[in-house]
Amino acid sequence: MHRAVISGTGLHVPPHVVSNAELVASFNAYVQGWNEAHAADIAAGAAAPLAESSESFIDKASGIRQRYVFDKAGVLDPERMRPRFAERRNDELSLMAEIGAIAARDAMQQAGKAAADVDAVICAASNMQRAYPAMAIEIQNALGIAGFGFDINVACSSATFGIEQAANAVKAGTARAVLVVNPEITSAHLAWRDRDCHFIFGDVATAVIVERADTAAAGSWEILGTRLATQFSNNIRNNFGFLNRCEDADPDARDKLFVQEGRRVFKEVCPLAAQHIAGHLASLGVETAAVRRFWLHQANLAMNQLVARRLLGRDPTHDEAPVILDEFANTASAGSIIAFHRHRADLAAGDTGLICSFGAGYSIGSVVVRRT
Ligand code: CO8
């Protein structure tokens, strides 16, 4: 068995920022238009007026102040409220592969790895843009990597689940280095017309290189252990799928986009995540107090504070559990990887940290790392 390390991470930030103010202005324009168009039904009591969104609610309920998107005009157009992407020919690189490859090159450069050093690619994300061929194989081809590639989807936990698969391959010797890519175009499956969730998500792509410890430079992050858990829940769900047309279902129906019972998710997932992390650390003989940094999933500020409070018995500092969701919003599986990418350079050799993601499924994945 080989020892596995994370030796590089990459981040591709989309070109457009949408502030809460811009988001709310567009949403409220949509609401006003809808209420005007349905004024007669509303007056007759046949329809309920739509309620406006508010910046102060979004800030208070989530901690999110802005998000990045790959297309801003389509998202903010009250007549459209979804990104506008041009369909690409089969001989063009697809959008998910394009943004994934940018993040991947960043990670490979940081790890000092050329395409010839990498033996496998895992595309781990909460949605795939097509059924096949696997996105990972297209990314592998775009980067000139030999070996093999495959996709996995465990919603917001995809990245940590992917890191475990990568670490297992490296430890077992079936790959010298594995590239895990997380292209998250959440704007394409977010219901921008739904006041309860229109503010939650943002786009991004991240990537991680997992390789053998003996080929990596000092200052890498040895993977001391990984732990995955799933427990079925309908509280976060998206029914979009290949059977829709056979069921004669409306492809634009609300349930074909992200739907959640946010309060229930909050209440049920926080204790599960805290328990999961505590159990994982205990199994490795690592005291919670000895964990220098928690790179947690970035869905909601209060959620992260609650998970960390359950672990530490007090509120975490920004240094202990860094927050990036104020800038990026919830980027599904990429959130904890962005936190790890942005906030690890200051840790010293021997410092221990924990990457953890949680979300739909329910699913939880944790990775305990120690700096070499
Ligand atoms: N503006 C103003 N008021 C609002 C708004 C708004 N935009 N939205 C709701 N309100 C009102 C409600 O109507 C309600 O009013 P009242 O009390 O009069 O009924 C009040 O505000 C409170 O509403 P909520 O109870 O819904 O508000 P919460 O305090 O619970 O906050 C959150 C809502 C922020 C959604 C919170 O519940 C939360 O963060 N929950 C956890 C969410 C989470 O982590 N989900 C994980 C999903 S991510 C995942 O697994 C990946 C899936 C795949 C990616 C999909 C990409 C698209």
Among 334, 340, 364, 100, CA closest to 220: 340
Q: Write down the residue that tokens 């997992």 correspond to.
A: 210
Q: Does any domain span residue 60?
A: no
The per-residue pLDDT for 37 is 97
SS3 track for 171-231: HHCCCCEEEEEEEECHHHHCCCCCCCCCCCECCEEEEEEEEEHHHCCCCCEEEEEEEEEEC
Pairing of strands 236-237, 259-260: antiparallel
The per-residue pLDDT for 248 is 94
CA distances from 274 to 162, 356, 364 (A): 21, 10, 10
* Amino acid found at 145: I
Residues of the chain with pLDDT under 50: none
* Residue 212, burial from CB neighbour count under 10 angstroms (0-12, 13-18, 19+): middle
For ligand 1, atom 51, which residue shows the shortest CA distance?
A: 156
Pocket test for ligand 1, best of 70, 127, 196 (most atoms within 8 A of CB): 196
* Amino acid found at 339: A
Q: Does any domain span residue 235?
A: yes
Ligand 1 centre and the CA of 172: distance in Å? 42
Token representation of residue 5: 């390390």
Rounded distance, CA 275 to CA 331, Å?
A: 23
315 phi/psi in degrees, rounded to 5 = -65, 140
Rounded distance, CA 280 to CA 193, Å?
A: 39
What's the mean per-residue pLDDT of the chain? 97
Angle (CA) 211 214 217, round 5°: 75
Contact 372, 221 (CB under 8 A): yes
Q: Does any domain span residue 63?
A: no
Among 120, 125, 214, 130, CA closest to 168: 120
Rounded distance, CA 4 to CA 225, Å?
A: 10
Q: Does any domain span residue 117?
A: no
Identified catalytic residue from 123, 156, 270, 356? 156
Q: Does any domain span residue 112?
A: no
Residues sharing a CB contact under 8 Å with residue 372, sequence separation 6 or more, in sequence order: 5, 213, 216, 218, 219, 220, 221, 222, 349
Indicate which CATH number applies to the domain containing 290. 3.40.47.10
The four Cα atoms 253, 297, 285, 315 give a dihedral, to 10 degrees, of -120
Rounded distance, CA 134 to CA 138, Å?
A: 7
Rounded distance, CA 106 to CA 331, Å?
A: 18
DSSP three-state, residue 236? strand
Q: Does any domain span residue 67?
A: no
Q: Does any domain span residue 247?
A: yes
The per-residue pLDDT for 295 is 98
Task: Note down the domain range covering 297.
Answer: 221-371
Q: In sequence order, what are the beta bridge partners of 4?
A: 212
Pocket of ligand 1 (CB under 6 A): 53-54, 57-58, 61-62, 126, 155-156, 186, 189-190, 195-196, 199, 201, 236, 258, 260, 262-263, 265-266, 299-300, 303, 330, 332, 359-360
Question: Is 123 a catalytic site residue?
Answer: no
Question: How many domains is the chain built from?
Answer: 1
Ligand 1 centre and the CA of 266: distance in Å? 9
Angle (CA) 303 181 197, round 5°: 35
Angle between the N-to-C axes of helices 95-111 and 135-143, in degrees from 0 to 180, rounded to the nearest 10: 50
Ligand 1 centre and the CA of 302: distance in Å? 12
Q: Does any domain span residue 15?
A: no
Pocket test for ligand 1, best of 59, 70, 129, 195 (most atoms within 8 A of CB): 195
